[in-house]
Amino acid sequence: MENLNKLPLIGEKAPSFEAQTTKGKVSFPEDYKGRWVVLFSHPADFTPVCTTEFVAFQKRYEEFRKLNCELIGLSIDQVFSHIKWVEWIKEKLGVEIEFPIIADDRGQIATLFGMIHPSKGSNTVRAVFIIDPNGVVRVMLYYPQEVGRNMDEILRIVKALQISDNNKVAIPANWPNNELIEDKVIIPPATDEKTAKERFEKAKAKEIECFDWWFCYKELK
């Protein structure tokens, strides 16, 4: 009980668990090894904001999968409730939810991830964990129950993390529509004089662009 409501930290391994979902039993992270995962919680089935979120996630599911990223939903409802809610969404809204929803009716997984905030009630808040193929937590987002999430931002974060990892660069604010450098990416700042001078030489050769030695950027190739 020492870890009650202890949030995992960015850079730590995500807690492991086994769970029943609408798609059968899953073992995490074993079943998702080598893939990115967006694990997200919602307060309750058969609620308006949550319904809009699930539809929005499903509408972008193929985009996530093209990024080798899977979606996993979670709430403290029972699996029977999840199944009926998914059926309702398909029947009434014409949207089939293809990703699994965890039935965490005892709240054990929600506790591992700090998804239950007592001041907001006994249900899970709108938490999002983006976990990389090595099972490491890379991003955590928390929303109150009364505000729905922006799925395009979550998709943008996954894309940005992959670009950062693959190219050893940083991603500017509002990328790919940054106010200063548009869709370009930031080169990590020089940490010694030699590298700082090399940056200026590369800038002169038009290999990169710089506002100063500590703020250089380039086009993503």
Catalytic residues, by residue number, are 50
Region class of 187: left (phi > 0), else alpha (psi between -120 and 50), else beta: beta
Say how far apart CA 77 and CA 42 lie, in whole Å: 10
**Ramachandran region of residue 7, left (φ > 0), alpha (ψ -120 to 50) or beta?**
beta
198 near 177, Cβ under 8 Å? no
Residue 63 CB-density burial (10 A; 0-12 exposed, 13-18 middle, 19+ buried): middle
48's torsion region: left (phi>0), alpha (psi -120 to 50) or beta? alpha
